[in-house]
Structure 1
Amino acid sequence: MTTLSQKDKNTVRDFWTKIQGQTDIIGRDTYFAYWSSGGARHFDVRPNSPSVVKHGITILDFFSLSELHAFTLCVDPANLKLLAHCMMVVLASLFPDDFIPEVHMAVDKFMAALSLALSEKYR
């Protein structure tokens, strides 16, 4: 299990504050990367398609996603790890000056913990 230290939590919180105003772009680009890698084939996967933009905003609004994905959509928990990786690639490309190794490590731990929490409903 991934444990975030207080320093990790502060690092993620500080980084999240910097990126907060661009969640629509981050979500769109993350889902575009995910879908382009074969994550979903039933959507229009062009970068600015309404499906990508809408769902990109939705994924960054994490509330109630665990139950929705586990019980309604029956999403494979392994896809959460792929999605987290896609998001980190997007964050690194959009914020190269801020996504330094320390931030990368803290965000990676956070995304691993988040993926685990979202997949808890699958048990």
Structure 2
Amino acid sequence: MLSKKEKKLIREIWERLSPVAEDIGADALLRYLLLLFFRCRMFASFPGTKTYFSHLDISRGSAHLSSHGKKIVLAIAEGAKDISQLTVTLAPLQTLHAYQLRIDPTNFKLLSHCMLVTLACYLGEGFTPEAHAAMDKFLSAFAAVLAEKYR
């Protein structure tokens, strides 16, 4: 899956970004929600999906968006510390999302794509093709691990 060099690169990126976790997470979540709302028109086509967000203020700059975004980024950063233990690290989140929140696992893939876009914006030229490829592999693995409980 990931080479030692890629794992090191991913760890370094997340260590560098953890101090701005709230900003990155809120930005990625907002991109994700806009993707769902505008591109897929999911809320209009499938009103039941609003239940995921009905209790949150999901407007730009809201405390809910920032807080939840920070949780997501810190969970990703924690997973990046020891990628070989990703399943163990994410076990509580797997259970939460699968059994309590009942989030459609497709959403993990969409969010990982939005996270890639956000990282590219924040890192600029530092988001090299190598970093992009490594991060894409890592976020795909992250999404797959979160979806494991659904099988």
TM-score by length of 2: 0.74
1:53 and 2:66 equivalent?
yes
Counterpart position of 2:28: 30
Matches within 5 A, 1:37-116: 37-38=35-36, 41=50, 42=54, 43-62=56-75, 63=90, 64-116=92-144
Q: Which has the greater radius of gyration?
A: 2
| d(CA) in 2 for partners of 1:75, 1:38 | 14
- Runs of 4+ deviating beyond 4 Å: none
More helix by share: 2
Uncovered stretches (5+) of structure 1, i.e. residues with no partner: none
Please say if residues 18 and 73 of structure 2, whose CA atoms lie closer than 8 Å, have aligned partners that are also in contact.
Answer: no
2:125 partner SS: coil
Deviates further, 107-116 or 57-66: 57-66
Uncovered stretches (5+) of structure 2, i.e. residues with no partner: 38-48, 76-89
RMSD, aligned CA: 1.5
Identity of aligned residues (%): 38
| d(CA) in 1 for partners of 2:14, 2:58 | 26
Please say if residues 108 and 143 of structure 2, whose CA atoms lie closer than 8 Å, have aligned partners that are also in contact.
Answer: yes
Partner deviation per Cα, 1:30-76 (whole Å, 9 max, x = no partner): 11111111266434332101221111112224352111001101111
